[in-house]
Chains A and B, each alone.
Chain A
Amino acid sequence: MTDTTTTASPTAMAPATEGRRVSPRVAVLISETRLFFREPANLFWIIVFPSLILVILGCVPMFREENDDLGGLRLIDIYVPIAVLVAQIVAGIQAMPPTLTGYRERGILRRMSTTPARPSTLLAVQMLLNSALAVLSALLVITVGRLVFSVDLPSHVGGYAVGLLLATAACLATGALVSALASTSRYAAGFASAIFFPALFCVGVWIPVRSMPDTLANVVELTPFGAAASALEQAAAGGWPDWSLLGTLVAWAVVLTAAAIRWFRWE
């Protein structure tokens, strides 16, 4: 700033020191993670709510009784995978779309596209964060089930993991499509709620899929949520999930993702 040909000014300053610099992707990840934890509502719904449902249901004595209709299982056993899927639905469909749509609506993506960083980084980081927390919440549900209600851990861990990850992917893809189609974050929230409750129904929050009438169960298993519920239940019981269920999940994830990419607008 001692240069005599220029006056003191905002840009007549030394460039930032090299070293300890993080890449744009990592910086966005750090920043979005921080912001995520500043939204107590999101944290409650994604992390606390699914386990809370399990605890509340488990407080009902009937849920802890062995049931011959369920092959000797207790209702609480059946509800662990359901609560696991509730976490995926809350994160992917309820929490993520208003955030992404808001980023577009409020010009945050636009501002980013005037920098060397790509705005798609922001979308990718949001998906990563929501899915990571959804999986974390799933693990919390399983832990609570095990410790509080002595629910057996999934017998077929590999099958359970595959089913869970595909369910996460399908829920995120659904949320991404909602973000793509909704023009404002309020619209996105409304649109998301319209899918949220049917999705909860399909994973069996009101009636577990296995207790549904056959025709209904067959229809529900065509949705990503019903397919995920049956896949997790089979893996919990110790088998590799039916390929038809996993295939249904993959198909939904692919189609919904493609549709979201096709219709997503950057502004």
Chain B
Amino acid sequence: MRPAPPPREPVGMTTTSIPRATSEPIIEVTDLHKSYGGRAVVNGVSFSVEEGEIFGILGLNGAGKTTTVECIEGLRKPDSGRIRVAGLDPVTEHKAVTNVLGSQLQESDLQAKLTVREALELYSSFYARPLDWKPLAERLNLTAKLTTRFGGLSGGQKQRLFIALALIGAPRVVVLDELTTGLDPRARRDTWELIEDVRDSGVTVILVTHIMEEAQRLCDRIALIGQGRISALDTPSGLVGRTAGSTVISFTPSAPLDNESLSSLPGLTDVEYKNDRITLSGSDETVNAVISLLVRSRITAHQLRVSDATLDDAFLDLTKS
């Protein structure tokens, strides 16, 4: 599929959707610094992205996510640090990088009176080896809109067109920046499927988002950025597991439980009482201990729910410190 995989890649690794192949990382960022007017927006960020993965960059607004990817796209010049995209420098080898990296930008429109078809044709003319835009439009569900002007498209349609434009140069990696912000839940879910599709076709995806659900569902790995630094970098479940109280147990006991036996539960990090309902945060160990405690005390647990903490909880927990 991809034009030039390193020859030493072992046989059996040809399925492009397997993340972390043994090849060189497609993107390497080392000690990136960028400040505006003396204010450090990106302050020593390092990470690498492996070919074939969906890599999430997650953080609150103003955390430095967009600045980081703009440096990768070569739209901004880093103050210091080293960036390589498929071995290329985005500033000094900008044109070569644009052939490898496709970008869907935040807050970037097209001419209002340009039709979808004209936009696709125009952007494919920019590349030496573009994809055929017709099947691309078909796949992105834009065929019915080819003669519609950009100004007449819905938010979801615009985003699909932007994804098409990011892919039209047949890049090895695409950067999708806050793709689903402002989309309705249906359009958002459709877009998620599309992103998985893109990855399955062998294109590496860098997904910038502040929507936890999106990151948790799509990303193979997530870099959590806060105040210009990476505060955590892990798989979604790794991030969730890293937080204290990663398992949440809640139930309504048939008879009151005494405080002491609850608070001595192993692995417990938090207890909450709300009306008759008890919510415990802890680990797997806590779950077992609660169940045996209930059995021993002959108490029935109504509406017993055991769930993993969400990435939301992890995010709040990790950005707190």
A19 beta carbon closer than 8 Å to chain B: no
User: Do B108 and A110 touch (CB < 8 A)?
Assistant: yes
Residues on A with beta carbons closer than 8 Å to the beta carbon of B202: 6, 9, 11-12
CB-CB under 8 A from B136, the residues of chain A are: 10-11, 13
Pick from B1, B99, B131: contact of A16, CB below 8 A.
Answer: B131
The answer on a CB contact under 8 Å between A23 and B125 is yes
| A15/B73 in contact, CB under 8 A | no
A 100-138 binary contact with B (CB < 8 Å = 1; else 0): 000100111011111111000000000000000000000
A9 B198 Cβ-Cβ under 8 A: yes
In the complex the two chains form, what is the Cα distance from A204 to B113 in whole Å? 36
With beta carbons under 8 angstroms apart, the residue of A11, A38, A111 that contacts B113 is A38
Q: Which of A11, A13, A26 has the most CB of B within 10 A?
A: A11
Residue A35 interfacial (CB < 8 Å): yes
Whether A115 and B75, one on each chain, are in contact in the complex, defined by CB atoms closer than 8 angstroms, is no
Within 8 A of B (CB), among A1-42: 3, 5-17, 21-24, 26-28, 31, 34-35, 38-39
> In the complex where A12-B1, A35-B113 touch, is A116 in contact with B95 (Cβ < 8 A)?
yes
Cβ B113 vs Cβ A31 within 8 A: no
Query: Are B198 and A11 closer than 8 Å at their CB atoms?
Result: yes
Does B209 touch A at the CB level, under 8 Å? no
Known contacts A5-B1, A11-B131; A106/B109 CB under 8 A: yes
Chain A CB within 8 A of B54 CB: no
- Indicate whether B201 reaches chain A with its CB closer than 8 angstroms: yes
Q: Given that A15-B130, A107-B105, A111-B110 are contacting pairs, would A9 and B122 also be in contact in the complex, using a CB cutoff of 8 Å?
A: no
Q: Is there contact, CB below 8 Å, between A110 and B98?
A: no
Contacts of B165 in A (CB 8 A): 111
Q: Is the CB of B108 within 8 A of A9?
A: no
Residues of chain A within 8 A of B163, CB atoms compared:
10
User: Are B201 and A12 in contact (CB-based, < 8 A)?
Assistant: yes
**B133 an interface residue at 8 Å Cβ cutoff?**
yes
- Apart from the given pairs A6-B1, A6-B16, A115-B169, 14 other A-B contacts in the complex at a CB distance below 8 Å: A5-B16, A7-B201, A9-B139, A10-B201, A15-B132, A16-B133, A21-B125, A103-B111, A108-B109, A108-B111, A110-B108, A114-B105, A116-B98, A116-B169
Contact surface of A with B, Cβ cutoff 8 Å: 3, 5-17, 21-24, 26-28, 31, 34-35, 38-39, 103, 106-108, 110-117, 267
Q: Which residues of B contact A (CB under 8 A)?
A: 1, 14-17, 73-75, 95, 98-99, 101-103, 105, 107-111, 113-114, 118, 121-133, 135-136, 139-140, 163-165, 167, 169-170, 194, 197-198, 200-203
